[in-house]
Copies of this chain bind each other. A is one copy, B any other.
């Protein structure tokens, strides 16, 4: 078998195995039951999102990068687990900020326990993430541990900036946005925590040189935007069961996506008024029929196909970076899996 390409089934199997190892550590790390009734609930709340499945892509990228650099996967496990805890933390906040009702087929944390407890539990979870990162010291030493901590603060700063930009557009009811505005937002909101930082963390642990560390940025930047666009596509046309969120959620939430931006510049002025009217309504004022109608427009104007094509192009660009600027990453099993992930990002259905 050619070890430089990987079948889809094989890739999914590897993702599952990596995720299982990371999850095992997460659930060992997070506090278990507690004798005080209230704190027992807090601990259960912290374990809720990490237990809801997901691909574990971010932790896996970190593990694979470390392995590709010739180090043991075990060295990167706490950091990969911290990344996945970060992801759960972001999802809890995201769901509150977007007033989402479902996450991975179940009620969101704030739907289940109310906004105050959910905010607080996510803070508690975030603190456990820092604590876990600090355990790296005994294995990786001071220098690498500090570098990892710096990567985590940088990631949080970018992610919150991206989130702020997106929320501001909704708040200000802004639709006069260029594609470049959208990409710039995605790079901050998605690329850093989904691709760039996971790769760089693996790089720190694996001892990557500065040139390779720098190269992770443009590669992860484009791959992250491709990932986000595919997420937007699945949000509209995915299968609810696989995707685990309500289909058309972005229309309910009035999100600015590449698809809506394409649609708005393709339609005639009258249609544009109708679509903007729907998108700008508050969530609770929208009807099923409103959402279906916007979805129909998106299909008939090929806006979804357009977004898919852009995602494909970006992932090809990332693939180009991968083969050239990441040449210093030694070939082998781990690199082959990483290569498979580049394509998977835009071909996935979950």
Contact = CB atoms under 8 A, between A and B. Distances in A.
A70 to B, nearest CB: 26
Interface of A: 36, 38-39, 41-42, 93, 96-98, 113-117, 119-121, 123-124, 126-128, 130-131, 134, 137, 142, 145-146, 149-150, 152-153, 156-157, 160-161, 163-165, 167-169, 171
A119 B134 contact: no
A39 B168 CA distance: 9
Identical copies in the complex: 2
Q: DSSP class of A's interface residues: helix, strand, loop or mixed?
A: helix
Nearest to A90: B123
B142 A39 contact: no
Nearest to A137: B146
Given A39-B165, A97-B115, 5 more contacts: A38-B169, A93-B119, A114-B171, A130-B153, A131-B150
Given A116-B97, A117-B167, A146-B137, A160 B123 contact: yes
Contacts of A98: 116
A134 B156 contact: no
Nearest to A152: B130
A13 to B, nearest CB: 35
Contact of A38 (B41, B117, B168): B168
Contacts of A156: 123-124, 126-127, 130
